[in-house]
Chains A and B, each alone.
Chain A
């Protein structure tokens, strides 16, 4: 039951990153792929009908986290107070950047909101990556299962740690590059002509950077938390997960060369799923390690709600998930195909 919910939360967070990740990536390449206002409007139309539903996965995952591991929810949200507030602001800015841009037929207005959209998307990608870095590195949880981290201390990932140190900045940059490639793949899938061409080029270049940084990230992670490899040693089937990540990244390159955009997009989605899944697999059964000592680690056992709630949760969660999958299938199917720029502006 606890393992089930660990997988559920990890899965929902991964789905969030895969879906809203391409919205964020689209924001990052907004000015790279869209060289005039018409092209940038096309990029926004590509994500317009779906970005809000994609973002809901973050809230739904947060809700599932609160429901199944309330102590983890309370400890992590209050400990990560400042970066969470920053993320909230960035989410707000991203949302209005997208939604308000089309409301005024004014060049300055559009320029401003394009900038807000791009900036907030890039910063969100970095912060989400840094968040994963913090979880892997650990935080100063004490016996009361609480911590509070300042935004930075001395940028070293041990001792008195801060939200940002060289390791979490690295994971932040990796996330930025990964989501840029993923977003570029989505835009290439949904557009034609010059915009598509530029998106494909960003994906190609980004792919190499992703591979390089990814490798660096693995090396760094082995320094920071070598225990992550333990589960892989005892459960050899776990190696399939990072293989999916590596295979996904290679597949992006393969399909990119053949200009098969849908396959490239699914490949980058797999790469992201593999990375996140691999981290979760290595972390299990811890949910948030402590830098003050293993005895203070938060695990699935010392943070969970009681079994009754977890059991009935399986019932309504399954129903809700099936419905959600239905809604999303219908939504994406309805807006399938390339975006066009008609009078029904975003």
Chain B
């Protein structure tokens, strides 16, 4: 690969990976905040409102970082991937423009009202503001997924005389079979991030015995959401995504699973090491026949290996793709285990005193970020060597007239700026967490004693 192409790829992958750290929390929290405010109104319990207000502060900072790291993404299609933009703009211009028109206006208009306007409106109206921000954030996710889904599985287009693609069927584009599962799987991943963040903070407050009532509230809401979302990621959404890959990107499936040779009764490899030189997996730990079963729902099914595809149609970095996928699945499995046990303990009223479990929950919060990132790496590395699957190679999409030098200059610039932003972000988050919720909370002892307001909530 020549230098310029590599740098364009590095810049886009770096900036998008960094950017997505923020929206996944934003989208996850958007849902959880609506849940908190709904619970506040339904249970007539102020503590849920206080919790919502606290998380809204976290949300606000996080949202800003998402916006500022997001603007470079919209620009970068044009700056670094001009040939791709010319080739595919007639299709993806639609979804990206709709994101601006429908999602961005909605979330940015109502965010101000949500963050600053609580005092000047009724509780119901403020709840509605939260819902609007949630819809805006999740719509934004939808249009981005619709764009990526089209790149993974192009539909609804026609080819012009100059070779460029243009949409010719709007609903085919919107209802691309790839869209649905990718969207619900992606949003599930965001809810996992948000729920684990809430859970971790709840664990921290409980362990340190500050803001205990809020801490316990965060734990209850967080664990419930985290368990539901973690299960959702495995089945049905992860499975649904997998079926799309089997059907439309079989070379990708082979690479993800490290299946170098076509096999009947193909094994499911839990872990192994891809050996590119010898085109095999070293030291595999596997379940016989399980891959065939998972992909085609019958034992003995033959799954195509990489050898079934010409070398120039296989993903170009198989070890990275393989490991990304396995990290995602491995973490997802661990999330299910942790949340199941935590939910069980919560149900039995023992969670708030299980220090070992609280420690696990507190330390778990970075891992959903890793899982989400690994998942996206799987999607994007899996699509290689294509930028638009089957139609445009990545190597043919970069801006030809932006030199490697210019690209490297801006890439280093982004890395530096984002390092500084990271420090700022962590500093501000740390302060918000230490500051806690705005109202002082009783320090309480004992597993079942909660502050008087929450007494009716014991046992849930």
Contact = CB atoms under 8 A, between A and B. Distances in A.
A62 B111 CA distance: 22
Interface residues of B, number: 64
Contact of A74 (B89, B96, B410): B89
B166 A63 contact: no
B100 A64 contact: yes
Interface string A209-234: 00000000000000000000000000
Give the top 4 A-B pairs by smallest Cβ distance, nearest first.
A70-B89, A77-B78, A320-B101, A49-B112
A48 B421 CA distance: 21
Given A52-B67, A313-B97, A324-B101, A308 B168 contact: yes
B166 A309 contact: yes
B89 A66 contact: yes
B78 A334 contact: no
Contacts of A67: 89, 93-94, 96-97
A77 B166 contact: no
Interface in B108-162: 108-113, 115-117, 119-120, 158, 160
Contacts of B257: none
A60 B401 CA distance: 26
Contact of A59 (B86, B104, B406): B104
Interface in B356-409: 399-402, 406
Interface string B410-451: 100100010001001000100100000000000000000000
A331 B132 CA distance: 13
A317 B93 CA distance: 12
B112 A100 contact: no
Given A66-B77, A70-B86, A75-B82, A316 B109 contact: no
Interface of A: 48-50, 52-53, 55-56, 59-64, 66-68, 70-71, 73-79, 81-82, 84-85, 88-89, 91-92, 95-96, 99-100, 103-104, 146-148, 305-306, 308-309, 312-313, 316-317, 320-321, 323-324, 327-328, 330-331, 334-335, 344, 346
Contacts of B78: 66, 73-74, 76-78, 84
16 contacts: A55-B67, A56-B108, A64-B97, A74-B85, A81-B399, A92-B421, A96-B421, A305-B93, A306-B160, A309-B94, A316-B98, A320-B98, A330-B109, A331-B112, A335-B116, A344-B119
B interface majority secondary structure: helix
B102 A48 contact: no
A85 B71 contact: no
Interface of B: 60-61, 64, 67-69, 71-72, 74-75, 77-80, 82-83, 85-86, 89-94, 96-102, 104-106, 108-113, 115-117, 119-120, 158, 160, 164, 166-168, 170, 399-402, 406, 410, 413, 417, 421, 424, 428, 431
Contacts of A147: 401
A71 B104 contact: no
B176 to A, nearest CB: 16
Contacts of B105: 53, 56, 60, 320, 323-324, 327-328
Given A78-B79, A305-B93, A327-B105, A62 B100 contact: yes
A223 B68 CA distance: 39
B109 A62 contact: no
B97 A60 contact: yes
B68 A92 contact: yes
A146 B400 CA distance: 9
A61 B100 CA distance: 8
A75 B110 CA distance: 34
Given A89-B413, A306-B160, 18 more contacts: A53-B108, A56-B108, A63-B99, A74-B85, A76-B78, A77-B75, A78-B82, A81-B399, A81-B410, A88-B75, A91-B71, A96-B68, A146-B82, A308-B158, A317-B101, A323-B102, A327-B106, A344-B116
